Structure 1
Amino acid sequence: MLPLLIALDLAMLFGRSTWWIGVWPEASAAAQLPAFFFGILLGGGAAWTAGRVHRAGTAEQLAAAMQPRWRIELPVWLSSLIFGLIAYVPGVALAFIVSAPDAGPGFLWPSYLLLGACLITLSVSIGHLAGKLWQSRFIPPIAVAVCLFGQVMVPPIRFYVLSGHVQAEVSPSALITRFTLTLLLTAMALTLPPRQVVRDAGWRLNTAPIRGIAAAMLFSGLATVVTAGPLLVARPAPADPLCSDESPRVCVWPENRKYLGTIDAMVARLVALPNGVLKLPDTFYERGLRDASVPEAGSDFQILAGPVSVPFFLSSAVTARTVPDCEVPQDVEQQFSHEVFHLDAYLQVRTFGNAAALGEGGGPPGVDIKEIVQVIHLPESGQADWIKDRLTAIRQIGANCHG
């Protein structure tokens, strides 16, 4: 099973995408995500391992042993946990190695790594407890289903994140409550006696009250996790964001330093258009650097799955300043939108450098991609004239235009 887990770790790390490389929070989130899949497998594996006590018929001997229950259970539980952690570490190490050259000063964020380790431990404890309490051979697949259902279908108690955007971080209170719940479930897995009535020195011990107390404690732990708030919370904006020297400036979060040159080149393509046909802001800010109360903060760009998302936000900010403010009669709304959409699509392609900026859907509805591609291949002056024609058409379609 160990080679399978390591292969799964590396496949999840590099098989989906690699845009996270060079951004510490994104690399940290990518390194912890395989723990979700480990949990599914380790839950069933731990249940099968713990179920050996039933298959070997040694439940009564263990109940009558002189050693405390937890000391007997601990090596079995650890054997499952170590498999998961051994498979988890290579992915973490590789995420650091490939990110360090581009990410600059810093390290992987411990909160994400602890979240992944917490999920692995929780899954092992769930499987171990289920395998010890019930004798059926169907318990391992049921444990797998429980681990999967709990993470996918009950979002308030999830122990993983899909992405580590720089604007967010793991909530300390949420991490503490999840760590506490994991410790509680681990303690139950190591100390609860098997479900059946056991014999100890001639006395019959009914475990029902013990199981009831444990269930109440577990319910309280789950309730605490749910009421602890969201797993991710917004980060405060840095006092000194990383900004370019050119005008207009581009400012990003320090963790996204590897994208600064790329986005600055996008803005330079807009600035290169002659005759001042476009109205650009003095500074393009990444989302979260400005307070949400700032009127223009809503148009700040976001880096989603790499820089391919940035042209959409940059073009929207430029379009909002360049397109005149007009009253649009209802009977010409479609025609007006057609002109604005074409201009916006052109700006996205111009900003990114090719039509990939529009995605598989081809940009806004009704946009003629062939026309946009033809315009992009015109000389700079020809592209500026095309923009002027679009703005003139917009003014003619609208009424009482300003700007």
Structure 2
Amino acid sequence: MIRVLLMELRRSPLRWWLPALLLIDLAALFGRSRSWIGVWPETSVAAQVPSFYFGPALAAAAAWAAGREGRGGAMPATPTSTRPRFLPELLLLTATLVYGTAVYACGALVAAAVSWSEAGPGFLWPGYLVIGLTVMTGCAAAGQLVGKTIRSTFLAPSVAGLGSLAVLAWVGSPHAFGLFVLSGSPQAQAAPAAVALRVGLALAAAGLALTLPDWWQARRSVLFRARSGLAAVGFGALLVALVAAAPQAGRVQVSRSAPAQPLCTTTTPKLCIWPEERKYLPKLAALSDRIALLPAGLFVVPDAFYEQGLRGPAHQYTDFPISEGSVWTVAESISIQILSATAPPRCKNLTEANTERMVKASWELGRWLNVTITGGPQPDDVHGGPPGLDTASIDQLAAGAPQAEQISWVNERLSVLREMPCA
């Protein structure tokens, strides 16, 4: 068995593509963003993302290898063998997955090594890595089935690779079927039920790839055909049942329970985060120090601010997120909370003109607070903002105008929020 597997490994086209696959893995890890470095759940998701690219590559390679024995008019070499027919198919699929898993594991180890010094206690979260393995297994199994059906040297790999890519892009995202994950916020984790279902899907697809060709190509007794056909039908039925059960399994990610003791700055006000994001503590302490320097008497500042998920769903849309490691998004949320505490809504029935004035004043104050709290203008990698806002003049005011001028400007807008007449 081992000797045959080694032979299949030598014959696989993937042996020539290992350097390219490793480059794809590293490009997927470091090319989009590096904010995952130092946060174990984000690192785990980043290590899983290359499976989106490896899946179609393994599908194409499996299709090429599966059609090899039938090209050139050659008959299958094993239909009269005393060994089970699925055994050669199993070795073929295993050889494909050995190469894919080896590169996938190398990428995961690189991600772990890069994060190690910053991340603190913990390691890669296995649930996310298992999701990537299920993507690769399912794609390789589908490619092997295509290769047994289409014996063309170029058509089979093309259909398998492009078809797998289309399926992953169409239904694979977390907002659709959820075959892979893109975000690794500490407030979420891979749902055990959803991971188990995807493992079942991958195994059912592999079982179908091993037994369906046996049914098609069996040249033995009627009993043998019935037995192999029953196995293929069973795996096919299992696959359909698991797909149907996917909505009941729920989302691929679910909320985690908040820790009893979140990690907080020692400053006033304190900023509290998930322990997995300890690397952001110095940046958040600097934000807190600048909040404490806001002109006295202008704003009501809460004693503490919390990252999303630490205080439950009730505060999901008021507590701050840490998006792509940006403190600007943290400052935006804190600014909203400070304005809400300083000038809470007083009237619900405002005229359209007064509503426009109130919204404009709120946006301008929010921008001024953002720049003041972060100590600089909006970063280039953060896009978007309120429409029609003169951000350049507000940034210039917050960055260099005398404090008396800034206080006067802030008071003008606070008066709009506090004294807005009711309709």
Contact 1:150 1:157 in 2 (8 A): no
Residue 259 of structure 1 deviates from its aligned partner by 1.1
Contact 1:60 1:199 in 2 (8 A): no
SS in 1 for 2:272: strand
Q: How many residues align?
A: 398
1:162 aligns with 2:182: yes
Letter in 1 for 2:248: T
Deviation digits for residues 178-201 of structure 1 (CA, Å, limit 9, x no counterpart): 112212222222233356454237
Letter in 2 for 1:332: N
The unaligned stretches of length 5 or more in structure 2 are 1-16
Distance, in Å, in 1 between the alignment partners of 2:158 and 2:375 is 50
Who is 1:351 aligned against?
A: 373
C-alpha change, 1:358 and 1:84, in structure 2 (3 Å) is closer
- Aligned partner of 1:338 among 356, 360, 364: 360
- Aligned partner of 1:258 among 276, 279, 287: 279
Residue 366 of structure 1 deviates from its aligned partner by 2.0
- Aligned partner of 1:234 among 237, 255, 264: 255
RMSD: 2.5
Worse-superposed segment, 250-259 or 116-125: 116-125
SS in 1 for 2:301: coil
Contact 1:133 1:195 in 2 (8 A): no
Who is 1:37 aligned against?
A: 53
Residue 26 of structure 1 deviates from its aligned partner by 0.3
Contact 1:151 1:157 in 2 (8 A): no
Who is 2:199 aligned against?
A: 179
1:283 aligns with 2:283: no
- Aligned partner of 1:71 among 87, 111, 123: 87
Identical-residue share of aligned pairs (%): 36
- Aligned partner of 1:216 among 218, 221, 237: 237
Residue 311 of structure 1 deviates from its aligned partner by 1.6
Who is 1:389 aligned against?
A: 412
1:103 aligns with 2:123: no
C-alpha change, 1:338 and 1:60, in structure 2 (3 Å) is closer
Deviation digits for residues 150-180 of structure 1 (CA, Å, limit 9, x no counterpart): 3222255432101111111000011111112
For normalisation by structure 1, the TM-score amounts to 0.91
Worse-superposed segment, 277-286 or 185-194: 185-194
Distance, in Å, in 1 between the alignment partners of 2:316 and 2:116 is 31
Residue 360 of structure 1 deviates from its aligned partner by 5.9
Letter in 1 for 2:373: T
Letter in 2 for 1:371: S
Residue 325 of structure 1 deviates from its aligned partner by 3.1
Map residues 1-400 of structure 1 onto 2, 5 A cutoff. Answer: 1-55=17-71, 57-137=73-153, 138-155=155-172, 156-194=176-214, 196-200=216-220, 205=225, 211-293=232-314, 298-307=317-326, 308-327=328-347, 328-356=350-378, 363-376=385-398, 377-395=400-418, 398-399=420-421
Letter in 2 for 1:61: A
Distance, in Å, in 2 between the alignment partners of 1:106 and 1:28 is 11
C-alpha change, 1:78 and 1:211, in structure 2 (3 Å) is closer
Distance, in Å, in 1 between the alignment partners of 2:147 and 2:23 is 26
Distance, in Å, in 2 between the alignment partners of 1:79 and 1:211 is 22
C-alpha change, 1:100 and 1:361, in structure 2 (3 Å) is closer
Deviation digits for residues 339-369 of structure 1 (CA, Å, limit 9, x no counterpart): 2111111111222222225966563122112
Letter in 1 for 2:406: Q
The unaligned stretches of length 5 or more in structure 1 are none
Distance, in Å, in 1 between the alignment partners of 2:247 and 2:418 is 53
C-alpha change, 1:10 and 1:203, in structure 2 (3 Å) is same
For normalisation by structure 2, the TM-score amounts to 0.87
